A and B are shown apart, each in its own frame.
Chain A
Amino acid sequence: MKFKFGVVVFPGSNCDHDSYHVLKHLLDLETVYLWHKDTDLQNCEVIILPGGFSYGDYIRTGAVAKLSPIMNSVIAFANKGGVVFGICNGFQILTECGLLPGTLIKNKNLKFVCKDIYITAVNDVSLLTKSLEKKTLMTPVAHGEGNYFTDEETLKSLEQNNQVLFRYSSKKGEISETYNPNGSVQNIAGVMNKNGNVFGMMPHPERSSDVSLGKTDGLQIFNSLLQNFIN
């Protein structure tokens, strides 16, 4: 069975082509770009909100993108159970529009962090993590505002409902402040909503999927999504 993926393009998106490449060329999936001014999701089964700096990150990251015409359709789609996956700026947009809890604030050390790091999957049931070949993956991060923050109450509910997907860790999967690149609360690198159909993460699996880049751990995340979506 073939699935159709849609990659939303905002002014300032810069990982839209990377995501498209992984889905279309590496995984041989029907994939289309969805322009931010459109409202038609073209019958896509999975929507990707890619990384970048939509609308120049003005006001706050994702604050203006959430008002794009396409986002009304994405929100309605997600509320009906449609699968939406936000990466980096896409994650920021999903928290801004309320599809995911929390928010992403400036990195604790004030620096734009751009490097390969390790994340460990801490969720055995989500579409994104259920079928990973290994729990600890190497993926790049590239962000200035990736410091995941929630109030205590939200954090508690995230943990209780098993909504945390990934935490920053060592290569061996050890989770501690030493391996936290941005100050995120509890080393959180990715979360999902309560219903398990909306996902967000700061690291870039689409930039670590093609063997020609020398790193392919990110592809496991897309494969897990595909495998479990089919089932």
Chain B
Amino acid sequence: MYKAKVIIKRKKSILDPQGKAAEHGAVLLGFKNIADVRIDKQVEFLVNVNDEETAKKEVSEFCSKLLSNPTMEDFEINLEEIDEV
């Protein structure tokens, strides 16, 4: 079994309004060194298969079909093999 951690990131060319708001908050708090804040999404789930290749394929398909929108987002997949839960 695998534990998947997927990070969904807005493409660099796309404005991240939440990141901008956090950046503005940093200025209001007096931080002078914080810049280029980007707020991404992390999704965690289990994949009930025993080989990494199949896990990767399934996770990637799940990401492209639902978790991310290819027009505006990219995704990164991290897989960790775990014992049955």
Contacts and interface: CB of A to CB of B under 8 A. Distances in A.
A108 B17 contact: yes
B18 interface: yes
A103 B66 CA distance: 14
Q: Which bracket fits the contact residues of A?
A: 20 to 34
B15 interface: yes
Contacts of B66: 59, 63-64, 67
A118 B18 CA distance: 27
Nearest to B20: A110
B14 A105 contact: yes
Nearest to A103: B71
A103 B18 contact: no
Contact of A105 (B15, B20, B21, B67): B15
Contacts of A105: 14-15, 72
A102 B18 contact: no
B37 to A, nearest CB: 13
A135 interface: no
A96 interface: yes
Contacts of A24: none
Interface in A178-194: 183
B69 interface: yes
B65 to A, nearest CB: 9
Given A96-B69, A103-B71, 19 more contacts: A59-B67, A60-B69, A63-B66, A63-B69, A64-B66, A67-B66, A105-B15, A105-B72, A107-B17, A108-B15, A109-B17, A110-B18, A110-B20, A110-B21, A149-B71, A149-B72, A150-B71, A151-B13, A183-B15
Closest 3 CB pairs of A and B: A103-B71, A106-B17, A110-B17
Interface of A: 59-60, 63-64, 67, 95-96, 102-103, 105-110, 147, 149-151, 154, 183
18 contacts: A59-B67, A63-B66, A63-B69, A64-B66, A67-B66, A102-B71, A103-B69, A105-B15, A106-B17, A107-B17, A109-B17, A110-B17, A149-B71, A149-B72, A150-B71, A151-B13, A154-B71, A183-B15
